Amino acid sequence: MATQAAAPAAVSTGDHDRLIEVSLVKWHFLTGFAFLLIAMLAGLLFSMQFLQQYPFKGIEIFSPGRWRFVHTQGVAYGFIANIFLGMLYWAVPRLTHRPVLSRPLSWFLFFAWQAVILATAIGVLLGQAQALEWGETPVWIDPVAEIGLILVAVNFLAPVFKTKGPMYVTLWYFVAALVWTPLVYAMGNFLPQYLMTGVAAGAIGGLFIHDLVGLFVTPLGWGMMYYFVPIILKKPIWSHGLSLVGFWGLAFFYPLNGIHHFLYTPIPMFLQYGAIISTVAVELVVTTVIINFFMTIRGTGDMLRTSIPIRWFYTGMIFYFTTCLQCAFHTTLTFQKIIHFSDWVVGHAHLVMFGVFGFWMLGLLVHLLPRVCNRAGWYSRGLNEWHFWITALSMLVMFFDLMIAGLIQGYMWRDLAAWEETIRASRPYWLVRSVSGTAIIVAQFLFAYNVIRTLAMSPAPEAAPDGEAAPDPTAGGLATA
């Protein structure tokens, strides 16, 4: 059924070292995961402010608002970007059968990227944030980050453009994301700061918030799914046609969505309508992608039980469908009246960024980490099971909790309840949010412990460099089964 694009020839083990700098993948993964722990702790810290239990009250450097920046920036640029970079260093050379442009450049980018993140953290903690949601990076860091993103794009696009013939689905997503990300970053960080003002800048701000999710995180995430799911399931994607629909639908509709973050603002109404319609269109496109992936696993559903990475991936996909469906409704003007400004949106954002893309990345780590660290497998599968179940269930609790809190807030506001009453009504939900967040963090530390114990094991013998799921090491990026 699926006609795959021309596959590069199988990669022999000797080739593997020539193609892939495995330690670079490893260090991006480990650093990214460390940033996840830091960002989550920052989020927990900030959430305690909502319970009037902030532990570092009145200390300037621990100002809760500044730690909120650390939470979101740490997730976006520390966790997500690092894991994606590691994933790209693994996948792109295997898909193109060529190494990235330059290894020294790759290592330079690794250190430069961490420097950018640390500088961002220091900058926002000193109160130098930029008034741009998701782009709070101080203005003096923006140009450096932009140059870094361009170099990243060049580094990965070089091998892609050296290959001949059509590309596999994953590379469509990767190429598009590598083009979009520097463009989005430049648009969002520079235009509203230096060129545009007021309402027009608001439109750009909306585009930036949304494009960062839709044109950086989403395409890299789906590219990753199209690559790893067939490899682990050992079978091709169900429908190549639906893959085409999914990619081109996303590419066309997603960039048009941004203004839906600022409905009922003075941004011209016809643009708001346009953003709403294209948002609903994205949901239809997403449905085709979800169908494609669930038809792919059809017949091998047992893998959801036996393979923890597959379970992470498919749980993330269910959450992805949930969050997009939710979006198709709450982007309408009727829903907006109630849920805008409320915790509903916070719940939505957590489900997208962590419940979907965070889950996929954790699945990726479970799948690849022992392999790039040259270990025969995980220290404990049991810990990985606990990691999954605690995280997934706590994520669900947090999502529903914030959704309900948002509805209560929205209706109380509309009914002109005194502001203090709306705070009082929200408090139990904020408590549940903090508790579920704590559970998620505990699960991540269980995983961290598992990682450390796995690294402490002796290296695997040369003959068996495979990780837990033992995918075919010679797979050239396609399901060769």
- Which residues within the stretch 419-448 sit at the binding site for another protein (CB under 8 A)? 419-420, 423-424, 427, 430
CA 382, CA 380: separation in Å to the nearest integer? 5
- Residue 223 interacting with another protein (CB under 8 A): no
Closest distance of CB 263 from another protein, Å: 8
- In the list 416, 456, 462, 463, the residue contacting another protein (rule: CB under 8 A) is 416
- In the list 224, 242, 256, 286, the residue contacting another protein (rule: CB under 8 A) is 256
Q: What is the DSSP code string of 6-17?
A: PPPPPPPHHHHH
- In the list 27, 247, 379, 399, the residue contacting another protein (rule: CB under 8 A) is 247
- Residue 41 interacting with another protein (CB under 8 A): no
- Residue 133 interacting with another protein (CB under 8 A): yes
Q: Which amino acid is at 310?
A: I
CA 342, CA 47: separation in Å to the nearest integer? 15
- Residue 140 interacting with another protein (CB under 8 A): no
Closest distance of CB 205 from another protein, Å: 6
Q: Count residues near another protein (CB under 8 A).
A: 98
CA 391, CA 311: separation in Å to the nearest integer? 12
- Residue 288 interacting with another protein (CB under 8 A): no
Q: Looking at residue 59, what DSSP letter applies? A: -
- In the list 42, 80, 203, 297, the residue contacting another protein (rule: CB under 8 A) is 203
User: Angle, nearest 10°, between helix axes 103-125 and 142-162?
Assistant: 150
The phi-psi region of residue 437 (left if phi > 0; otherwise alpha if psi is between -120 and 50; otherwise beta) is alpha
- In the list 191, 232, 303, 440, the residue contacting another protein (rule: CB under 8 A) is 191
Closest distance of CB 196 from another protein, Å: 6
Q: Looking at residue 235, what DSSP letter applies? A: S
- Looking at beta carbons only, is 202 or 467 nearer to another protein? 202
Closest distance of CB 423 from another protein, Å: 5
- Residue 251 interacting with another protein (CB under 8 A): yes
- Residue 458 interacting with another protein (CB under 8 A): no
Query: What residues numbered 340-379 form the site for another protein, per CB under 8 A?
Result: 340-342, 345-346
Closest distance of CB 356 from another protein, Å: 20
- In the list 108, 150, 234, 274, the residue contacting another protein (rule: CB under 8 A) is 274
CB 209 within 8 A of CB 261: yes
- Looking at beta carbons only, is 94 or 340 nearer to another protein? 340
- In the list 197, 302, 389, 470, the residue contacting another protein (rule: CB under 8 A) is 197
* Of 391, 438, 217, residue with least CA distance to 320: 217
Closest distance of CB 302 from another protein, Å: 32
Q: Which amino acid is at 480?
A: T
- Residue 285 interacting with another protein (CB under 8 A): no
Rg (CA), the chain: 22
Closest distance of CB 415 from another protein, Å: 8
- In the list 38, 144, 158, 167, the residue contacting another protein (rule: CB under 8 A) is 167
Q: Enter the tokens of residue 481.
A: 């089964």
Residues 6 or more apart whose Cβ sits within 8 Å of residue 107:
21, 24
- Residue 52 interacting with another protein (CB under 8 A): yes
CA 429, CA 418: separation in Å to the nearest integer? 18
- Residue 172 interacting with another protein (CB under 8 A): yes
- Residue 199 interacting with another protein (CB under 8 A): yes
CA 324, CA 318: separation in Å to the nearest integer? 10
- Residue 273 interacting with another protein (CB under 8 A): no
- In the list 151, 259, 285, 290, the residue contacting another protein (rule: CB under 8 A) is 259
Residues composing the chain: 481
- Residue 130 interacting with another protein (CB under 8 A): yes
Q: Which amino acid is at 319?
A: F
**Interaction pattern, residues 57-96, with another protein; x per rule: CB under 8 A:** xx-x--xxxx-xx---------------------------
- In the list 275, 366, 368, 369, the residue contacting another protein (rule: CB under 8 A) is 275
- In the list 196, 280, 325, 457, the residue contacting another protein (rule: CB under 8 A) is 196
- Looking at beta carbons only, is 133 or 146 nearer to another protein? 133
Long-range contacts of 64-71 (CB under 8 A, 24+ apart): 66/124, 66/125, 66/127, 66/129, 67/42, 67/125, 68/42, 68/43, 69/124, 69/125, 69/129, 69/136, 70/38, 70/39, 70/42, 70/121, 70/124, 70/125, 71/39, 71/40, 71/42, 71/43, 71/46
- Residue 393 interacting with another protein (CB under 8 A): no
* N-to-C CA span, the chain: 14
CA 92, CA 174: separation in Å to the nearest integer? 9
Q: Enter the tokens of residue 195.
A: 């060129």
* Of 30, 83, 128, 160, residue with least CA distance to 364: 83
HSE of 479, CA atoms in CB hemisphere, 13 A: 22
- Residue 13 interacting with another protein (CB under 8 A): no
- Looking at beta carbons only, is 226 or 359 nearer to another protein? 226
